[in-house]
């Protein structure tokens, strides 16, 4: 499938339903907002401007999902990683259901398989309006049992001279060498230049707003989610700013905390306190009943700095 081009005023976006329902490029005039390539030239979703995270974001440890006391082996879907990463939506072809000059509706139907044991339907809406790209991501549980889900986006913003990021948060999850969360610490967020920033962390208590500006663009990212993953380092020419609904490896953290809380004995109170402090609501896991749907939104608004 070739690119689907959307345009509105100075804004232009190319979509690739065939490559994970991803964005091939996003521009304000001739200036790329996200890392972008010419129409039809994207060959891998991993090199895309952005892709959807459904039905979970980031990592599930050791590609093994534990839910309701059952262990579900998953597919290791990222070379060099022992984990399962970013769900299944980014690895599947999406269908174009409807659209116009400035909007498009994509859909995905997932049957339970080795990559994810719960059936679901997902949809994405892209809408250009003014100098903004508005996106929604929705999921409906089509399995016969309650299922855990998470939603998010993985956009890569161009890191130019003078790039500066600023947002408010309440906490940050520290990461181990295996790229899994180890502990939670208080954090006010970030307000720093991007050139030497070295980070790959999930922030919670996020305000839902990020300001990113550089020598060419001033960009405002907003989302209905309250967690944010930020990834970049000095070797990267882009910065991933990922609005997400849950903490990395959250589903298995919920399962582990529930198991601890069920233990009896002198430490039972301590275990229950841990489970309450980092239960499903705090970690961001959404549990959908059969037939239940859920939607999250994201907006990228930009203007020239010149």
- Per-residue confidence (pLDDT) for residue 278, from 0 to 100: 55
Does residue 36 lie within any of the structural domains? yes
Q: What is the CATH number for 297?
A: 2.70.98.10
The closest alpha carbon to 50, from 32, 68, 31, belongs to: 32
Above 90 in pLDDT, residue 275? no
Please provide the size of the chain in residues. 306
Question: For residues 282 and 130, which has the higher predicted lDDT (pLDDT)?
Answer: 130
Domain encompassing residue 220: 4-255+281-304
Contact 51, 69 (CB under 8 A): no
**Is pLDDT above 70 for 306?**
yes
Domain contains 118: yes
Interatomic CA distance for residues 129 and 145, integer angstroms: 39
User: Residue 90: inside a domain, yes or no?
Assistant: yes
Q: Which two tokens stand for residue 288?
A: 């959908």
**CB burial readout 119-148, b (16+ within 10 A) else e:** bbebbbbbbbeebbbbbbbbbbbbbeeebb
Residue 83, phi then psi, degrees to nearest 5: -100, 170
Per-residue pLDDT at 90: 97
pLDDT reading at 43 higher than 80: yes
Prediction pTM value: 0.92
Is residue 160 situated within a structural domain?
yes
Angstrom distances, CA of residue 139 to CA of 5, 143, 270, 286, 293: 24, 12, 36, 11, 6
Residue 280 has pLDDT above 90, yes or no: no
Quick check: 274 and 257 in contact, CB under 8 A? yes
Contact 211, 157 (CB under 8 A): no
**Inside any domain, residue 241:** yes
Q: What does the buried/exposed string (b/e) look like for 168-202 if buried means 16 or more CB atoms within 10 Å of the residue's CB? A: bbebbbebeeebbbeebeebebbeeebeebebebb
pLDDT at position 260 is: 47
Could you tell me which residues are beta bridge partners of residue 212? 165, 219
Give all strands (DSSP E) within 161-285, no chain letters.
Answer: 164-168, 171-175, 181-186, 189-193, 199-204, 209-213, 217-223, 227-232, 238-244
What is the C-alpha separation between 266 and 273, in angstroms, rounded? 13
273 within some domain: no
Is 180 a domain residue? yes
- Residue 208, in any domain of the structure: yes
Secondary structure (DSSP) of 38-86: -TT----GGGSSB-EEBS--SEEGGGEEEETTEEEE----STT-SSEES
Instruction: Say yes or no to pLDDT of 269 above 90.
Output: no
Q: pLDDT, tens digit, for every residue of 216-266?
A: 999 999 999 999 999 999 999 999 999 999 999 998 887 766 554 444 444
53-106, pLDDT tens digit by residue?
A: 999 999 999 999 988 888 899 999 888 889 999 999 999 999 999 999 999 999
Q: Average pLDDT of 3-15?
A: 97
DSSP state of 87: B
Q: How many CA atoms lie within 13 A of 52 on its CB side?
A: 35
Cα distances (Å, whole numbers) of residue 60 to 160, 181, 279: 32, 11, 16
Q: What is the rounded CA–CA span in Å between residue 179 and residue 177?
A: 5
Whether the CB-CB separation of 194 and 240 falls below 8 Å is answered with no
For residue 179, pLDDT over 80 is answered with: yes
pLDDT for 252: 85
* The residue to which tokens 């509105």 are assigned: 8
Query: In this structure, what DSSP letter does residue 101 have?
Result: S
β-strands 209-213, 217-223 pairing: antiparallel
pLDDT at 271 over 60: no
280 contacts: CB under 8 Å, gap ≥ 6: 148, 250, 254, 287
Tracing tokens 């520290």 back to the chain, one arrives at 174
Name the domain count of the chain: 1
Using one digit for the tens of pLDDT, what is the confidence trace for 114-163? 999 999 999 999 999 999 999 999 999 999 999 999 999 999 999 999 99
- Mean pLDDT, residues 178-190: 92
């Amino acid at each position: 499938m070739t690119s689907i081009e959307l345009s509105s005023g100075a804004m232009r976006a190319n979509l690739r339903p065939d490559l994970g329902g991803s964005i091939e490029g996003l521009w304000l005039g001739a200036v790329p907002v996200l890392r972008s390539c010419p129409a039809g030239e994207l060959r891998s979703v991993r090199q895309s401007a952005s892709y959807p995270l459904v039905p979970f974001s980031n990592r599930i440890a050791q590609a093994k999902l534990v839910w309701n006391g059952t262990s579900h082996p998953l597919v290791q879907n990222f070379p060099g990683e022992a984990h399962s990463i970013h769900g299944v939506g980014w690895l599947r072809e999406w269908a174009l259901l409807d659209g116009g000059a400035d909007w498009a509706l994509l859909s995905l139907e997932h049957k339970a398989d080795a990559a994810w044991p719960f059936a679901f339907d997902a949809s994405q809406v892209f809408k250009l309006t003014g100098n903004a790209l508005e996106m929604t991501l929705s999921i409906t549980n089509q399995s016969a049992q309650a299922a855990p889900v998470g939603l998010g986006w993985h956009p890569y913003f161009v890191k130019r001279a003078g790039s500066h990021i600023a947002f408010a948060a309440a906490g940050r999850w520290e990461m181990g060498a295996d790229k899994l969360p180890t502990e939670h610490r208080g954090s006010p967020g970030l307000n720093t230049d991007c050139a030497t920033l070295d980070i790959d962390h999930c922030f919670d208590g996020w305000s839902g707003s990020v300001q990113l500006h550089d020598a060419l663009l001033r960009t405002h990212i907003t989302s209905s989610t309250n967690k944010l993953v930020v990834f970049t380092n000095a070797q990267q020419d882009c910065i991933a700013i990922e609005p997400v609904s849950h903490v990395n490896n959250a589903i298995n953290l919920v399962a582990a905390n529930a198991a601890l809380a069920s233990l009896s004995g002198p430490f039972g109170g301590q275990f229950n306190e841990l489970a309450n402090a980092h239960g499903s609501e705090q970690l961001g896991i959404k549990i959908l009943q059969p037939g239940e749907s859920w939607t999250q939104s994201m907006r990228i608004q930009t203007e020239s700095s010149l």
